[in-house]
A and B are shown apart, each in its own frame.
Chain A
């Protein structure tokens, strides 16, 4: 009954999406206020219906209704409640339902909060949003129905892949999808703008909160995924350039470029056609990611079970949505007039450089991700493209980007003078060099890529902080005045400082972990001690422990330094009884400066065990940096200038009838 209710809600949502995707477009073309007025309530109804479906599936998981095929295949009564719930999106059908739910959520949010949008524009945005929904709801209903019944119903379910039974992974997909799918709004804004033939600063202003929200969620989502891979997979690594990681990283890179180029449109009314293209491509890359994960064209730890029918369907969706959007772009974009001119040395020029580098980086990752597939298709050998490729191509693009970033952020619009920029930044530059040299002197750091990494990270942090500090200091006056000026800076400025400094923190973390990791793999008997990076590690032995749906062998270690107790760590080899699969739980002790990361291996002879000990310097800075960046996004989102004062266009443009 509940399953049928959920299924029925989905079918209704599909019908509503069809209405919402067609009538308002027709109405906008004919200036029919009645048809246009359909869009906002339809968007809210759609959210309601898909929420019902989502609630229904969650209920079925919570009560373990194994007469539903999806539940039987992915759940088990012995699973803790939280993983029965997160199991809803731990599989292809359920995660697709989460996808369309978030799509509807954004549509409803535009309907509810987009009060400053002109009626015609808003109805077009909602219609495009609904058309995307039509595609995905059809995909669900025809190839991936989560409510399919199973007859006879099994007594027990098959369980969820144990590595997915984890708090980090329970949160990772919803966060990631908020980002991925959030970029659907920028896509809809771009298409609506092209249909109206009017892209101007107010368009960029409307776009901005949605881009920021999606970007913030995607930043957190990727960080969560990387953190999960770090502590759960037991390899001590944080990023593997896996095709599916790349699939989430490409929209992030393109979305970051979009975030910056939209500022140029907002402030200077130029770079319009490029910004539109970025808005389309960012969502196109999100769709491509969805395609890659679900069609089975690539092998990856993330890939869902592949089914050719599904692949064909998503490809058709991709072609219609992205191909259609790009065709519209080819038709309408040439008529967009560029606004003000600017000198190469200016804020616009710097943002253009940012865009060029980020777009090249996106293309690099795209090439590396699709190259094996392309080579295979033309009859070449099956290959895999791994970290060496990305390190050799991606990293060199980031170096000029990070070097230029603090400079670009202090340049004035239109025409900037480099002397002024140097005045604000010289102290930061001197400090960066001094600290880097100091680092080489006090540690055994080699002159090379690691030093460049630390230097760039410091430069990003100090250079970003230098701007507000120097702006407040240059105004003169005592400390009180300095402080007031500092606090009085707009939130968006602080948001920028926070995000850019966060990037610097992340760069330092990545550099330290990639170049400074110590690793020891050895066999230890209980009572034996080993040494890693100045810590004495005593292996206490292994005992058996039981969890709710697993049994484990737990190895414990006592860590001390110079005779002082530091911590006790436990690493599990868990065996999930239902799924018949083992997982590894690393024992991790985190401080701001380093992680101790111990993994219990296999038993060796004479009661000894193989163990892997890692010392990862500054690794927590990676996720800390990402969190700072996301906080920057949230802070910028909270700037009230975004909500009030967005200019309303005085009249309806004449060129919109073609929609």
Chain B
């Protein structure tokens, strides 16, 4: 302690002085990333799959609903939505009336039932209505991984050629229909 008192604090007198700069430099780098990250909305998750063909998959049907299942062969022909849902997912309940509304308007909606027990999914559809054309049961969540799903619910817009054109993360709200989904579907139908 004595030595240190006698010696004045002179910066750079230590040859390893640059080491002490390391923390502040590293922090500056982290700060830059945080600043850039601020401008971003974590809700808009762009998909790497945008404008690419949907991934190949073939899912078995939901037992007790129908025998059709859902596979990549069912995509295309006309613009459609693919909704990822699960009965255990609370936002899916909030979203469901919006999907019902779209289905009544004649929009084709297929669904991937994500990591769900079939009986739970059926109870969910019985209680809230079934707006879906085909449903594929993705019990292991494998197909959802191929789709790049981040969490349920998610909704994809697929065009006539079977390419993914838009990805919505989180529950669809009525205003999303107005702003993005309906205009995009109309454009794709042309």
Residues of A at the B interface (CB closer than 8 Å) are 197-198, 200, 269, 273, 277, 280-281, 284, 291, 295-299, 308, 311-312, 315, 318-319, 322-323, 326-327, 329-337, 339, 370, 373-374, 376-377, 381-382, 384, 521, 523, 581-582, 601-605, 610, 653-655, 658
Contacts and interface: CB of A to CB of B under 8 A. Distances in A.
Contacts of B90: 581-582
B31 A658 contact: no
B120 A601 contact: yes
A326 B27 contact: yes
Contact of B27 (A322, A331, A581): A322
B42 A335 contact: no
A298 B41 CA distance: 9
B1 A200 contact: yes
28 contacts: A198-B4, A198-B5, A200-B1, A295-B34, A296-B38, A296-B42, A323-B27, A323-B31, A327-B24, A329-B20, A330-B21, A330-B24, A332-B11, A334-B13, A335-B8, A335-B14, A337-B4, A337-B7, A339-B1, A373-B33, A377-B37, A377-B40, A382-B45, A521-B117, A602-B87, A604-B123, A605-B122, A605-B126
Contact of A382 (B20, B46, B120): B46
A602 B120 CA distance: 7
Nearest to A581: B90
Contacts of A582: 90
A21 to B, nearest CB: 22
B73 interface: no
Contacts of B122: 604-605
Contacts of B41: 296
Contacts of B27: 284, 322-323, 326
Contacts of A277: 23
A291 B34 contact: yes
Given A323-B24, A610-B119, A381 B4 contact: no
B9 A308 contact: no
A297 B20 contact: no
A279 to B, nearest CB: 12
B144 to A, nearest CB: 13
A168 to B, nearest CB: 20
A658 B8 CA distance: 10
Contacts of B45: 382
Contacts of A198: 1, 4-5
Q: Could you tell me the dominant secondary structure of chain A's interface residues?
A: helix
A332 B11 CA distance: 7
A605 B42 contact: no
A319 B20 CA distance: 18
Contacts of A521: 117
B36 interface: yes
A297 B11 contact: no
Interface residues of B, number: 49
Nearest to A234: B88
A582 B127 CA distance: 15
A284 B46 CA distance: 31
Interface in B2-30: 3-5, 7-14, 16-17, 20-21, 23-24, 27-28, 30
Contacts of A332: 9, 11
Given A610-B117, A610-B119, A658 B9 contact: yes
B20 A330 contact: yes
A610 B45 CA distance: 33
A295 B4 contact: no
A377 B9 contact: no
Nearest to A649: B1
A329 B117 contact: no
Contacts of A336: 4
Contact of A269 (B1, B17, B31, B36): B1
Contacts of B148: 381
B186 interface: no
Contact of B42 (A298, A319, A323, A523): A298
Interface centre among B1, B4, B45 (most CB of A within 10 A): B4
B42 A334 contact: no
Contact of B24 (A326, A377, A581): A326
Residue among A331, A382, A603 having the largest count of chain B Cβ atoms under 10 Å: A382
B150 interface: yes
Task: Point out which of B33, B37, B117, B120 has the most chain A C-beta atoms below 10 A from its C-beta.
Answer: B37
B18 to A, nearest CB: 9
Contact of A654 (B5, B33, B37, B123): B5
B35 interface: yes
A327 B43 CA distance: 35
Contacts of B4: 197-198, 335-337, 655
Nearest to A582: B90
Contacts of A382: 45-46, 150
Contacts of B30: 370
Interface string B36-56: 111111110110100000000
B5 A297 contact: no
Nearest to B35: A315
B38 A604 contact: no
Question: Which 4 pairs from chain A and chain B are nearest by CB?
Answer: A326-B24, A335-B9, A337-B4, A334-B14
B166 interface: no
Contacts of A653: 5
Interface in B149-187: 150
Interface in B116-135: 117, 119-120, 122-124, 126-127
Contacts of A200: 1
A308 B4 CA distance: 46
A291 B3 CA distance: 41
Given A299-B42, A603-B123, A605-B123, A384 B20 contact: no
Contacts of B36: 377
A643 B96 CA distance: 62
Interface in B65-108: 87-88, 90
Contacts of A374: 33, 37
A523 B119 contact: yes
Contact of B38 (A315, A334, A339, A654): A315
Contacts of A291: 34
B34 A334 contact: no
Nearest to A334: B14
A315 B38 CA distance: 9
A604 B119 contact: yes
Contacts of B35: 315
A333 B88 CA distance: 54
A308 B122 CA distance: 41
A500 B30 CA distance: 34
A582 B9 CA distance: 62
Contacts of B43: 299
Nearest to B24: A326
Contacts of B20: 273, 329-330, 333-334
Nearest to A332: B9
A297 B33 CA distance: 11
B17 A334 contact: yes
